[in-house]
Chains A and B, each alone.
Chain A
Amino acid sequence: GAVVSQHPSWVICKSGTSVKIECRSLDFQATTMFWYRQFPKQSLMLMATSNEGSKATYEQGVEKDKFLINHASLTLSTLTVTSAHPEDSSFYICSARVPGLAGGPADTQYFGPGTRLTVL
């Protein structure tokens, strides 16, 4: 259980275009999802918290108008990188909060496989 998928796995786009990344919880409902960004040889940096049915909460320094997040249903959150530039090239990873799984911690996160974005 607790499978999270992302689509696409990788994408190459031209500078100035927009890219949408989908994050789905396949076998559970996720009221809260998180979006992270990871540059090469660096750690995951939380970008925003996505709550179903409400506006996302962005971390300091993350432009909400550039990184649009929509959590339209309990199984889907999307991240749209608008007007992408080469410096936006990164590994984008989503995770879904799973409360109270049996045999696990009271609350944990399971990660999607990630989306590698390359902006030319």
Chain B
Amino acid sequence: GQNIDQPTEMTATEGAIVQINCTYQTSGFNGLFWYQQHAGEAPTFLSYNVLDGLEEKGRFSSFLSRSKGYSYLLLKELQMKDSASYLCAVWGGDYKLSFGAGTTVTVRA
């Protein structure tokens, strides 16, 4: 089976940095995705990691350690529009994604 854990909620102020951790235990591994989901909307793709290390995309960076079953999403220079749920998803094979429960990030002025 798949087990993906991430914190339920995080709060930060505008302009700050927030790091969302994700740990996983899966029966197979073909990559890890981060998605952003605003309330009532579908998820939108943020990042993908399949090799160990850091992937940087503008204000968002994602890190992966396969040996530790660990990833994090780093959000820099937080903006109010970044308030959303962030989903960690593992591609375990057969092109199936298993999602964590999501981390709700609230950005305060």
Contact = CB atoms under 8 A, between A and B. Distances in A.
Interface in A43-86: 43-46, 49
Contact of A114 (B31, B41, B45, B96): B41
Interface centre among A34, A97, A110, A111 (most CB of B within 10 A): A111
B33 interface: yes
Contacts of A17: none
A116 interface: yes
A116 B42 CA distance: 11
Given A44-B87, A93-B42, A111-B43, A34 B96 contact: yes
Contacts of A113: 41-42
B101 A42 contact: yes
Given A104-B48, A108-B45, A110-B45, A46 B40 contact: no
B97 A46 contact: yes
The secondary-structure label for the interface of chain B is loop
A44 B37 CA distance: 11
A65 to B, nearest CB: 22
A2 B24 CA distance: 28
B86 to A, nearest CB: 11
Interface residues of A, number: 23
A115 B12 CA distance: 31
Interface in A24-50: 32, 34, 42-46, 49
30 contacts: A32-B95, A34-B96, A34-B97, A42-B101, A43-B87, A43-B99, A43-B102, A44-B43, A44-B97, A44-B99, A45-B99, A46-B97, A49-B95, A97-B95, A104-B48, A105-B31, A105-B48, A107-B91, A108-B33, A109-B45, A109-B95, A110-B45, A111-B35, A111-B42, A111-B44, A113-B41, A114-B40, A114-B41, A114-B42, A116-B40
Interface of A: 32, 34, 42-46, 49, 91, 93, 97, 104-114, 116
Interface of B: 30-31, 33, 35, 40-45, 48, 50, 87, 91, 94-102
